[in-house]
Amino acid sequence: EKAVATLDEFDPNEATIDDLLDAKKAVEVAKHKKVPEEAMQKLQNRLARIEMTFGPRFEVEAKLQDIFRIAEKRCPDAFLDEAELNETEKVEELKELLEQALRWECDSDVVGTAQGLLERSLAAEELRREAGLCIRRALARPLRADADL
């Protein structure tokens, strides 16, 4: 009964990956409690449909949450809405995940957070690039007098 209730109450607009994992556990428990074969088949079919429909979305959201944690760890004094990614490969991964998040219609809060993180990370990367260029130009100038420093 709990498995049926868990799957029947599954609301994709409010659901998280934890809800999907709970539904999987409920089906496993139902197997061990000797639920009739017909009811068990219905549960498994419903779970399979949920996994096929929402599994990719939850996977993308979980990967984005991992990226958010990395950004927060690198910026311990700031909140996520102030953090940025410094590694080009992480920024590229975030771009790809954001595209997938839009394709799978992930939670709008998660998408918004990812977009903000990407914008800050790209802006910081551009600033670092410009600063490096300015330093290289300054070092390339001939030093003839103190004013050239």
Mean pLDDT of 117-125: 93
Taking the C-alpha atoms of residue 36 and residue 56, their distance in angstroms, rounded to an integer, is: 30
Mean pLDDT of 89-117: 94
User: Residue 5's pLDDT is what?
Assistant: 58
Taking the C-alpha atoms of residue 140 and residue 143, their distance in angstroms, rounded to an integer, is: 9
Taking the C-alpha atoms of residue 133 and residue 90, their distance in angstroms, rounded to an integer, is: 23
Check whether 6 has a pLDDT greater than 60: no
Residues whose CB is less than 8 angstroms from the CB of residue 61 and which lie 6 or more positions away in sequence, other chains included: 16, 17, 101, 106, 107, 110
Q: What are phi and psi of 59, to 5 degrees?
A: -65, -45
